[in-house]
Amino acid sequence: MADVSVQSDRRSGGIMINDDWPGYSLDLFSYPAHYSGDLDSVIIPHGVIMDRTERLARNIMDDLGDHDIVVLCVLKGGYQFCADLVDKIKALSCSCDHTIPMRVHFIRLRSYLNDQSTEDLHILGAEDLSFLAEKNVLIVEAIVGTGKTMETLLKHVETFRPKMIKVAGLLVKRVSHNSACLPDYVGFEIPNYFVVGYALDYNEYFRDLNHICVISESGKLKYKI
Ligand code: HPA
Ligand code: MG
């Protein structure tokens, strides 16, 4: 029998986390004691992130498995997702004896101060991407909000004339002014909260938290610049 779940997942917006879902109580999980009082809830436990990432890796393999890939990891927030996604793709390709040559390149974007997006987007490490010409590029982003950052980055990458560009985003926020620019592979669709953990930061804090959590108001005040 056909694996129905495989087909129904294709091109979905990811696992939907509803606006009225309060998340898991922090008491149900372990997390660094230095963040006690700084978080409201766990919205995606680490194990669920890993399981979903494994499935995204399988979808990517199904689509791109016959090509060499250049992975473009968007730092800093994307480092953990990218590392885990590349690991899962490697594990899958070894288990089916069909290895994909992958190169991983890092670029850095910065547009957030406190929990607000600033107008000026800085792209670092992307000045010369001429090696992307005629390559299959997989951009790996931790989070997509309005999609404006992604749009700017895509336009920049397109100028280097790759053969194909796909985007994997672990989280997509439901914001009212979402642009049409959404990732090809989405892990989770989440409410418009400021989230931290799994390498996502608030002024560089919380990258050392495994779960994706909602920051509390007192957490925002404590680490505000
Ligand atoms: N958390 C951390 N970084 C971010 C977020 C977020 O919710 N949105 C955009 N960058
Ligand atoms: Mg950040």
| DSSP per residue, 106-133 | EEEEEEEETTEEEEEEEEES-S--GGGT
80 Cα: distance to centroid of ligand 1 (angstroms): 14
| Local structure of 181: helix, strand or coil | coil
CA 84 from centre of chain: 11
200 Cα: distance to centroid of ligand 2 (angstroms): 6
185 Cα: distance to centroid of ligand 1 (angstroms): 18
Mutate to test the pocket of ligand 1, among 108, 148, 200, 203 (most ligand atoms within 8 A of CB): 200
Orientation angle between helical segments 46-64 and 79-95, nearest 10 degrees: 60
Distance CA 11, CA 106 (A): 26
What pLDDT sits at residue 95? Answer: 76
What pLDDT sits at residue 10? Answer: 45
Determine whether the shortest distance from the Cβ of 205 to ligand 1 is under 6 A: no
What pLDDT sits at residue 2? Answer: 35
What pLDDT sits at residue 187? Answer: 98
- Show the low-confidence residues of the chain (pLDDT under 50): 1-10
Express each pLDDT in 44-81 by its tens digit: 999 999 999 999 999 999 998 777 899 999 999 999 99
Which residues, including other chains, have CB under 8 Å from residue 139's CB and lie 6 or more apart?
A: 72, 74, 150, 153, 154, 157, 165, 166, 167, 168
Determine whether the shortest distance from the Cβ of 14 to ligand 1 is under 6 A: no
Q: Which atom of ligand 1 is nearest to the CA of 200?
A: 2
ipTM tops the 0.95 cut: yes
Domains of the chain: residue spans and CATH: 47-110+120-204 (3.40.50.2020)
What pLDDT sits at residue 148? Answer: 83
What pLDDT sits at residue 119? Answer: 63
What pLDDT sits at residue 83? Answer: 98
Nearest to 72 by CA among 3, 132, 29: 132
Nearest to 187 by CA among 7, 24, 2, 58: 58
Across the chain, mean pLDDT equals 88
Is the bond preceding residue 222 a cis peptide, omega within 30 degrees?
Answer: no
Q: Residue of the nearest CA to atom 7 in ligand 1? A: 194
Distance CA 100, CA 103 (A): 10
Which residues, including other chains, have CB under 8 Å from residue 182's CB and lie 6 or more apart?
A: 13, 144, 147, 169, 172
| Local structure of 160: helix, strand or coil | coil
15 Cα: distance to centroid of ligand 2 (angstroms): 23
